[in-house]
Amino acid sequence: MAAARPTGSASGALCWQLLLTLAILTFACDACKTVTLHVPSKLDAVKYIGRVNLKECFKSANLIHSSDPDFQILEDGSVYTTNAILLSSAKRSFTILLSNTETQEEKKILVLLEQQTKVLRKRRSQEKVLIRAKRRWAPIPCSVSENSLGPFPLFLQQIQSDTAQNYTIYYSISGPGVDKEPLNLFYVERDTGNLFCTRPVDREMYPSFELVAFATTKDGYTPEYPLTLLIRIEDENDNFPIFTETTYIFNVTENCRVGTTVGQVCATDKDEPDTLHTRLMYSIIEQLPASPTLFFMQPATGVITTTSSRLDREVTDKYQLKIKVQDMDGQYFGLQTTATCIINIGDVNDNLPTFNRLSYEVSVEENRVDVEILRVAVTDKDLINTANWRANYTILKGNENGNFKIVTDPKTNEGVLCVVKPLNYEEKQEMTLQISVVNEAPNFASSRSTGSMATVTVRVKNQDEGPECRPAVQIVRIKENVPVSTKDIGYKAHDPETNSSSGIRYEKLSDPEGWVSVDENSGSITILRSLDREAKTIRNGIYNITILASDEGKRTCTGTLGIILEDVNDNGPFIPERTVIMCKTVMSSAEIVAVDPDEPTHGPPFDFSLEGVSDSEVLRMWRLTKMNDTAARLSYLNDPQFGRYTVPVRVADRLGQSLVTQLDVMLCDCVTRSDCKIPSPLRTAKGLMLGKWAVLAILLGIALLFCVLFTLVCGATGAAKKPKVFPDDLAQQNLIVSNTEAPGDDKVYSTNGFTTHTAGGFTQGICSTPGSGVKNGGQETIEMVKGGQTIESCQEAGHHHTLGSCKGGGQHTLDSCRGGQVEADNCRYAYSDWNPLEDTI
């Protein structure tokens, strides 16, 4: 047990050592190394004494503080004195506190100040002992007070070289203030090195001088390097602070909050910065009007703020402040300057407009429109001709029919009440309006304020009025196609005074179709023409007539009589698309749709049928199949040829009214309908197709037939008047060639009255068409065509030519074709009578 005690004591001592080590480490984490600065025993104010490496201790520090108020630490670690200090002891210390406000971390640097002591360097044994103990060729900077009163020349300091112990030294200086502007301000005694100033200096012009001193021997040898001398001009408070403006003008709105910034003034001082000479203080000397005090000026910044929320533009719209700035931190002996500050109070809409009167009475005649009947005035204390002053008037009650409106006169701000819709005395003799007024800008206190209200009583005066056409549109119902002279009630106007229609005259102003007449006294109408509901002037089944009604005083009104034409089944359904195209290669039928102009009660369902007898070509080629109430399908039968066909289709409505539509059906060899191309001449439903050239040939043939018949008639008439006997030697006669177009001497008249022309063995008859005579083996045939019948010459053997009777007798009568009647009696010959012509023909 005795042996255990020392062991326990040793363990306890070890624990205490560990705790001490931990405490030292903890302190080392919070504290950085100690910094020692060597300074003189006397320190001036704002004196740089050294620099501390703050980053090495705490890089993220954002707050630097000194524990001693006599010292100031800058961000770069520079240490300055804030006051003049005299070190009474050999050492003085203070602590630099470094902290990070975000991480709440802190560190400290201990700074020790020690007085400077001259340390003699140990002389080595082999070094030569120096005679001098110090050098005087590096004097400390000197200063001169600004605007010094002397006496001049004023001694500043002495410069001296150690080489003066071995040589005769002459001193000289150069630089600004010596041989540069300002000239001859400084000089140095050649032999002694005493430096003098010759006159006062203005620091604002020359804050410091940097001279160069030289030490030379008699022979010009320079034993020393040139010495730089710094002469600082100490500032004197000889400059007044000056405001940047003589008069400041600021604006602030009325009723603003306490502490609202009005503006900021600024002044400058030419004295040395960062001294008491330039530390300025601002203040308000006087306020006009003086009471109550509403403004405050921050001394250090010159910012003017409000001290009350009772600024009222309607009471005072402008304030004038006399302000002062003083250096020396505002001490009584500092220099000061004054200026003027004008503060204009801006307007806000803190005053509601109010009516000068709460009730008004006015009268107006009925039927007046766009007339001013009343002006109402309001009072508003806000700034004139601004949105805070301009009034907006509203009619709250009594204008449900929109008879009135109220507007603002921009010049006087009055409310102008006008009548915009005629008033009717017979309906209402008195009306009460409730009007209100607000500003254009919302109210400062509340945007929901309804403003002031007033009551206007409007009395309506009676007026002798003309007739009234009410309702303006009156309706009557008449069936279309009613008999002419049918009468109806027509249009009725009335006198509002008597509420009757007596004494009113009526006149028709507009009747597009001229269907009716209007009775002058009663306004009733009479049908003049048959009414057609399907006319173009009918709109939605109504025919409108304009009526003018007038009284004995020539006062008039105009109304409209709408005649609703009740439909009658007077129109059959028809097919509007009359051209039907069928591409035969791809389709065998086409859809056709019918419409009926009548009302639906007289319309579909429709009945479709082909128009034609039972055995007609139409029924053999086409077939109709009903699809629905208004459409059917047309299809072809028996594979008709390509071409154009006319197909009549009858369509009947539900009451049996029908109409036939001629369809133009085109059968094309195409794929699409747009590819269908067929000549314009039609092919009838029976299958006969006539082209345009065929029609032209028929017309030309008919014209030529008329010409031939005319020639025949003329020839027959001439033969009857002068019978011509053929000579016996007719067979030996020769044909005479004539180049004339008209019948010449080469005409030969046959005994039967036929005029013949012989040309190259070719014979033509008058009734024959050109080219109908044909020569075949010596036999000739003469044909006459009339109405599809042919008279042919009978052919016999040999060269005998006879004209046989078509009627079987021996008598032949030649009637003119479609023209004058010409009889050829000499045509009645027996067969033997034609023998003389044998050789001739």
230 occurs within a structural domain: yes
* Among candidate residues 234, 264, 297, the one where a domain is terminated: 234
Q: Tell me whether strands 525-527 and 487-488 are parallel, antiparallel or unpaired.
A: antiparallel
* Among candidate residues 346, 373, 395, the one where a domain is terminated: 346
Same domain, 661 and 625: yes
Name the residue type at position 570: D
Tell me the C-alpha distance between 291 and 310, whole Å. Answer: 12
Say what percent of the chain tops pLDDT 70.
Answer: 75
Strands (E) located in 46-166: 48-51, 63-66, 71-73, 78-81, 85-86, 91-100, 105-115, 142-145, 154-158
Mean pLDDT of 327-341: 94
| Residue that is written with structure tokens 């049928």 in the block | 609
Q: What is the pLDDT of residue 669?
A: 85
**CATH number of the domain where residue 252 is located:** 2.60.40.60
For residue 600, which of 569, 631, 626, 563 has the smallest C-alpha distance? Answer: 569
Q: Which residue has the higher pLDDT, 470 or 480?
A: 470
Q: Which residue has the higher pLDDT, 277 or 694?
A: 277
12 occurs within a structural domain: no
Same domain, 214 and 103: no
Mean pLDDT of 472-480: 84
* Among candidate residues 656, 690, 724, the one where a domain is terminated: 690
pLDDT at 663 over 70: yes
Element (H, E) at 373: strand 371-376
Structure confidence by residue, pLDDT tens digits, 152-183:
999 999 888 888 888 889 999 999 999 999 99
| Rounded to 5°, angle at Cα 330 from 324 and 331 | 130
594 occurs within a structural domain: yes
Same domain, 106 and 186: no
Q: What is the pLDDT of residue 89?
A: 67
Per-residue three-class SS string for 641-710: CCEEEEEEEEEECCCCCEEEEEEEEEEECCCCHHHCCCCCCCECCCCCECCHHHHHHHHHHHHHHHHHHH
Same domain, 425 and 522: no
Same domain, 170 and 298: no
- In terms of Cβ atoms closer than 10 Å to its own Cβ (0-12, 13-18, 19+), residue 681 is middle
387 occurs within a structural domain: yes
Same domain, 306 and 183: no
Model confidence at 134, pLDDT cuts 50, 70, 90, reads: very low
Structure confidence by residue, pLDDT tens digits, 726-764:
444 444 444 444 444 444 444 433 333 333 333 333 333
Name which of 58-62, 140-144, 832-836 the model is least confident about.
832-836
93 occurs within a structural domain: yes
Q: What is the DSSP string of 506-570?
A: EEEEE-TT--EEE-TTT--EEE-S---TTSTT-BTTEEEEEEEEE-TT--EEEEEEEEEEE--S-
Same domain, 610 and 555: no
Same domain, 553 and 588: no
Q: What is the pLDDT of residue 406?
A: 95
Name which of 444-448, 588-592, 604-608, 824-828 the model is least confident about.
824-828
Same domain, 804 and 704: yes
Mean pLDDT of 65-89: 82
Q: Answer whether 35's CB lies under 8 Å from 79's CB.
A: no
Say what percent of the chain tops pLDDT 90.
Answer: 31
Tell me the C-alpha distance between 391 and 410, whole Å. Answer: 9
260: left (phi over 0), alpha (psi -120 to 50) or beta: beta
Mean pLDDT of 574-598: 86
Mean pLDDT of 337-347: 95
Model confidence at 22, pLDDT cuts 50, 70, 90, reads: very low
Measure Cα distances from 350 to 380, 389, 392, 452 in Å.
10, 10, 16, 14
Q: Answer whether 482's CB lies under 8 Å from 498's CB.
A: no
Structure confidence by residue, pLDDT tens digits, 673-715:
888 877 555 444 444 455 566 778 888 889 888 888 888 887 7
Same domain, 706 and 782: yes
Mean pLDDT of 290-303: 93
Mean pLDDT of 624-636: 88
572 occurs within a structural domain: no
Structure confidence by residue, pLDDT tens digits, 218-242:
888 888 888 899 999 999 999 999 9
Q: Answer whether 171's CB lies under 8 Å from 193's CB.
A: yes
Model confidence at 493, pLDDT cuts 50, 70, 90, reads: confident
CA 690 to chain centroid: 65
Tell me the C-alpha distance between 491 and 386, whole Å. Answer: 57
Tell me the C-alpha distance between 645 and 541, whole Å. Answer: 38
5 occurs within a structural domain: no
Q: Answer whether 558's CB lies under 8 Å from 471's CB.
A: no
Owning domain of residue 446:
354-461
Same domain, 309 and 360: no
CA 687 to chain centroid: 67
Total tally of structural domains belonging to the chain: 7
Q: What is the pLDDT of residue 716?
A: 66
Torsion angles phi and psi, residue 83, rounded to 5 = -135, 165
| Residue that is written with structure tokens 């000056």 in the block | 242
pLDDT at 288 over 50: yes
Mean pLDDT of 315-343: 94
Same domain, 609 and 678: yes
Q: What is the pLDDT of residue 208?
A: 93
768 occurs within a structural domain: yes
Tell me the C-alpha distance between 493 and 507, whole Å. Answer: 12
